[in-house]
Amino acid sequence: MNSQSMRSRFHAYRDENEWAAAVATIIADSLRERLQQSGQARILLSGGKTPEPVYRALSHAELDWCRVDVALVDERWLRPDDPDSNAHLIRDTLLQDRAAIAHFEPLTQSGRTLAASVRLANEHALRNPDIVVLGMGDDGHTASLFPRARDLEHALNASSDYVAIDATGCSGAGPWPMRISLTPAGLSKAPHRLLLIRGDHKRHVLDRALDGDDPRELPVRIAFTAPGTVLQVHWYP
């Protein structure tokens, strides 16, 4: 077993329903424990289609949601009400039902510059996250850290929790090259770290990632190489 495998735990499920219910329960239990310990909890969430069923299941959890801060792992440089933004996804999936009263911190606001948005994100990040939920693209990116992005080296070595990313020319970024992203420094502060993936292809990408340690090739490697807790990988076919 290589050192990367030792820094992660792999959990497999039969189907989407079992996966979503189990992961939502794990997240809810972690939030509940944190609320009992300190009275406040903070969770950072990723966008994309993969985690949607988890967020919808989590929205029904019996928690004191008014004491939970919900923030983002990353965001496209879009208005927070844009249908393609991660903020819109979170509002449409998690911030419903019981979770509708949670405090939400989008990474962008109309009229705010990219630099100002990054500064505010780092101010909010002075409150350490309790849970970070990550995803992974087919190209091995996580958050908005894309292979060969021109700002990747800076992001990987940044001491701040969030940075601006220019992913121009990176196919995984689609039509939204300008981004705000969590860094390994920000990720390392969370005592709970989850990676949610589905399908055989992404499992193969994960296996490739576990066989090396260079995040410039596959940025998802920061999920298990960033200092701190063991990564919990949750997968279904």
Contacts of 200 (CB under 8 A, 6+ apart): 237
- pLDDT for the residue numbered 4: 63
Q: Roughly how many angstroms between the first and final C-alpha of the chain, as a whole number?
A: 23
Residue 187 to residue 195: CA distance in whole angstroms: 12
**What's the average pLDDT block by block, 10 residues per block, for the chain (237 residues)?**
75 98 98 97 97 98 98 97 98 98 97 97 98 98 97 97 97 96 98 98 97 96 96 98
What are the angstrom distances between the C-alpha of 217 and each of 2, 70, 234? Answer: 18, 30, 22
Domains and CATH numbers, the chain: 3-232 (3.40.50.1360)
Contact assessment for residue 114 and residue 178, using Cβ atoms and an 8 Å cutoff? yes
Q: Give the strand order in the sheet containing 68-72.
A: 8-12, 231-236, 192-198, 131-134, 41-45, 68-72, 103-105
- pLDDT for the residue numbered 61: 98
Residue 235 to residue 228: CA distance in whole angstroms: 22
- pLDDT for the residue numbered 71: 98
- pLDDT for the residue numbered 117: 98
- pLDDT for the residue numbered 6: 76
Question: By three-state DSSP, how is residue 28 classified?
Answer: helix
DSSP alpha helix (H) spans, the chain: 3-6, 16-38, 52-58, 86-93, 114-124, 152-157, 184-187, 200-210, 222-225
Contact assessment for residue 233 and residue 23, using Cβ atoms and an 8 Å cutoff? no
Q: Which residue, among 45, 93, 98, has the nearest Cα to 69 in the 3D structure?
A: 45
* 17's tokens: 């329903």
- pLDDT for the residue numbered 23: 98
